[in-house]
Amino acid sequence: MSSYFLKRILYVIPITLAVSFFCFSLVHLSPGDPMDAVVSPDAPSEVVAMVQRAYGFDRPLPEQFGLWVSRAVQGDLGMSAANGRAVTTEVFSALKNTLLLAVAASMIGFTLGCTFGALAGYYQGSLLDRIVTGFAVGGVSVPHYWLGMLLVIIFSVELNWLPSSGAGPGSSSDWSFEWAYLRHLILPAVTLSVIPMGVVTRTVRAMVADILAHEFVEALRAKGLAERRIFLHVIKNVAPTALAVMGLQLGYLLGGSILVETVFSWPGTGLLLNNAIFQRDLPILQGTILILALFFVALNLMVDLVQARLDPRIQRG
Amino acid sequence: MTAPSPVDYQTIPDQAHRAAATKSEQLVDVQNLKVHFRSPGRCVQAVNGVDLTLAKGEVLTILGESGSGKSVTLRALMRLLPERRTSIEGHINVAGQDVLKMSRRELSAYRGFTTSMIFQEPMLAFDPVFRIGDQIAETVCRHEGVSHAEGLARALELFELVRIPSAKRRLSNYPHEMSGGMSQRAMIALALSCRPRLLLADEPTTALDATVQIQILLLLRDLQRELGMSVIFVTHDMGVANEISDRIAVMYAGRVVETGSVDEIIRAPRHPYTVGLMQSRASGELKGERLSAIPGSPPDMASPPPGCAFAPRCSLATEECQQNVPPAKVLGQQHWAACWKLEGV
């Protein structure tokens, strides 16, 4: 039992190394010179060379990678090419906002998704099932930047109920759990929750329907168990798969909210990435992608460990 | 199809058997059971008027090939068939309770308590993510209102009863950690957990290795004698039927075509289908000879023939057989068969 957990945890090391390598090289493979962001095109060549040396861009790539990794391990991801601030502070303050948004969105999406999915799967083929499935397909298919703008038009412009952008009153990016801040969270969180809601609904629905067709459900009925108790058995069978999907979705929400964050000017990693791309700010790009990727790895590790607790068969593999 | 009038019951020998058994001895009484599965544009008549009785402590085997309606009959006794698509008609009485008239609550109290079932694939009949011991304890808790710990203690006793080695350790196993034979023993333990009066066994040895089959059969027979319960055993294996039962009912195309004691059915079958079944067995003296098989295949139960369902495959069939369903004819105290041509067999 513990050997499975140990093995699963040790896997994280090579995965992390590979991830950081890809983060580093992908950014260097993309077109554009990082120096463009730092110095003006007509700067004298000595200045360019000096700045290059300051950022370490003059060294060969493998050496840059080595240096970057060894510093990253110590928590130093370099400094932004655009504004000279430390990447680590920039990324973490953005990450805090993104996490807030992602957790809020996934709470909405997963709660609705699990409820709808379980109901639709249990009453498979009923009218309820058809309505829920239609809703879920809609949720998966709707482009969320469009939905975001639609919600802004309705709730901010027309009804004037909720703010259309930012993470709080004024220009500060601090957060506190007060209505003045929470109302900023509602629209982006709802917008972002629609896709995970759809995905989770469909997964849970399919899994519940699948499990209900298993022979052991008939055997549970034959034991005289009440429907409520049988449902509990079904849910425990569905949980590992549902959890895996939810873990992945939370990962996507962390990294994939670029469009929604941009639409709502939410000061998270998405907005940070977006700006970094336009400014060719390589250190910020690398740092943000690395942190997000590590988050994804950690999330998957957690999902795997919880899954193994729920389904004893997994540990055998 | 001719509906049996009250007078007809005089000639239906199971009725005679019913009368012979005093009321207190009888546990199961099934009359004119019909089970139809409906789907858009199709109605499969899986069971078409089955009559069965079972005395206390008796072991009845329902013998038949795939699709003969034997498993459906068994499931009807517990109303385990999908409600929305199934219509059940007739009369099922188990231990004085009318099964078809039970409310949802009564039904759930009846299942697993008065009647319980062993399934064909033990590995598939347990919930894979719960420990076996908990799955048994859960049943005991449900029906006897005891604590989980007491339920587990009962599970341990049961594991010892079905002779599972190192029973205590096995209780905390998950289904995938057990072999087929072991999980069938556990399934039997589960089925017996609340001392049912009727045990239904749906081909409980079919999915097991030959050596394990024998062990499970012997175990079932011992337990049946020890606990004195009644058993309905469904199988397509004549050897198994011979081994375990007091009486055999042969089913074909949703009807019981012949019933009798084991000796009567195995050694002196009268219905042409039963005769054909017995001839298709492989045994030592047949070595080198061609096995005689019944020609043709069973009818499509979405549109069964109007007369005797076996007529299209029967060498003795006449016009009468094609047109009318044969009534049951008494051949002995427990022995009867439904055939127009019994004299010719």
Note down pLDDT in tens along chain A; length 317 residues. 578 888 888 888 898 888 888 888 877 777 666 666 667 777 788 888 887 777 777 788 888 888 888 888 888 887 787 777 888 888 888 888 888 888 999 999 999 999 999 999 988 888 999 999 998 888 888 888 888 888 888 888 888 787 777 776 665 556 777 777 778 888 888 988 998 999 999 999 999 999 999 999 999 999 999 888 999 999 999 988 898 888 888 888 876 678 888 888 888 888 888 888 888 788 888 888 888 888 888 888 888 888 888 887 777 65
Helices (H) and strands (E) in chain A, counts: 14, 0
For residue B9, the model assigns a pLDDT of 38
Predicted confidence (pLDDT) per residue in A111-123, tens digit? 999 999 999 998 8
CB B275, CB B89: distance < 8 Å: no
CATH class of the domain defined by B14-120+198-281+293-298+326-337:
alpha beta
Answer yes or no: do A99 and A173 share one domain: yes
Q: Give this prediction's pTM.
A: 0.77
CB contact under 8 Å between B119 and A223, yes or no, is: no
Phi–psi pair at A311, nearest 5 degrees = -120, 105
Give me Rg for the CA atoms of chain A: 23
Answer yes or no: do A118 and A205 share one domain: yes
Dist CA B264 CA B248 (whole Å): 9
Residues sharing a CB contact under 8 Å with residue B138, sequence separation 6 or more, in sequence order:
A223, A225, A229, B130, B148, B151
Residue spans of beta strands (DSSP E) within chain B:
26-39, 42-55, 59-63, 86-94, 97-98, 115-118, 198-202, 230-235, 247-252, 255-261, 328-330, 336-338
Answer yes or no: do A104 and A224 share one domain: yes
For residue B238, the model assigns a pLDDT of 86
| Positive or negative torsion for Cα B300, B305, B310, B311 | negative
Dist CA B255 CA B234 (whole Å): 14
CB contact under 8 Å between B129 and A222, yes or no, is: no
Q: How many separate domains does chain A show?
A: 2
Predicted confidence (pLDDT) per residue in B191-245, tens digit? 999 999 999 999 888 888 888 888 888 899 999 998 889 999 999 888 888 888 9
Q: How far apart are the first and last CA of chain A?
A: 11
Answer yes or no: do A63 and A123 share one domain: no
Answer yes or no: do A34 and A179 share one domain: no
Answer yes or no: do A8 and A155 share one domain: no
Q: How many CA atoms lie within 13 A of A140 on its CB side?
A: 13
Predicted confidence (pLDDT) per residue in A252-272, tens digit? 887 667 888 888 888 888 888
Residue to test with chain A: of B127, B184, B187, B232, most A Cβ within 10 A: B127
For residue A1, the model assigns a pLDDT of 53
Mean pLDDT for chain A?
A: 84
The answer to whether residue A81 sits within a structural domain is: no
Token pair 């006793």: residue: B157
Contact status of A210 with chain B (Cβ, < 8 Å)? no
The answer to whether residue A82 sits within a structural domain is: no
Answer yes or no: do A99 and A46 share one domain: no
Using the 3D structure, point to which of A45, A74, A103 is the last residue of a domain: A74
Dist CA A46 CA A137 (whole Å): 58
Answer yes or no: do A112 and A202 share one domain: yes
Residue to test with chain A: of B71, B129, B184, B190, most A Cβ within 10 A: B129
Judge whether residue B105 has pLDDT over 60.
yes
Q: Does ipTM surpass 0.90 in this model?
A: no
Q: Which domain holds residue A49?
A: 1-74
CB contact under 8 Å between B121 and A222, yes or no, is: no
Answer yes or no: do A32 and A99 share one domain: no
Residue A204 is part of a domain; what is its CATH number?
Answer: 1.10.3720.10
Q: What percent of chain B has pLDDT over 90?
A: 48
* Chain A residue with minimum CA distance to B177: A313
Judge whether residue B1 has pLDDT over 50.
no
For residue B11, the model assigns a pLDDT of 45
Mean pLDDT for chain B?
A: 86
Contact residues on chain B for A220, CB-CB shorter than 8 A = 127
SS3 content of chain A, % helix, strand, coil (to 5): 75, 0, 25
Predicted confidence (pLDDT) per residue in B32-55, tens digit? 999 999 888 888 999 998 999 999
Contacts 24+ apart (CB under 8 A), A8-16: A8/A301, A8/A304, A8/A305, A8/A308, A9/A301, A12/A297, A12/A298, A12/A301, A15/A297, A16/A294, A16/A297
* DSSP-based three-state secondary structure for A54: helix
Contact residues on chain B for A221, CB-CB shorter than 8 A = 80, 111
CB B35, CB B92: distance < 8 Å: no
- In this structure, the number of other CB atoms found within 10 A of the CB of residue A32 comes to 11
The answer to whether residue A139 sits within a structural domain is: yes
For residue B138, the model assigns a pLDDT of 93
pLDDT-based confidence at B18, cuts 50/70/90? very low
Contact residues on chain B for A225, CB-CB shorter than 8 A = 108, 112, 138-139, 142
Answer yes or no: do A59 and A110 share one domain: no
For residue B10, the model assigns a pLDDT of 40
Closest Cα to residue B273, out of B301, B290, B248, B242? B248
Answer yes or no: do A173 and A263 share one domain: yes
The answer to whether residue A79 sits within a structural domain is: no
SS3 content of chain B, % helix, strand, coil (to 5): 40, 25, 35
Answer yes or no: do A50 and A122 share one domain: no
Dist CA B34 CA B87 (whole Å): 8
Of B116, B127, B190, the CB nearest to A233: B127
CB contact under 8 Å between A225 and B108, yes or no, is: yes
Strand pairing class (B255-261; B336-338): antiparallel
For residue B16, the model assigns a pLDDT of 46
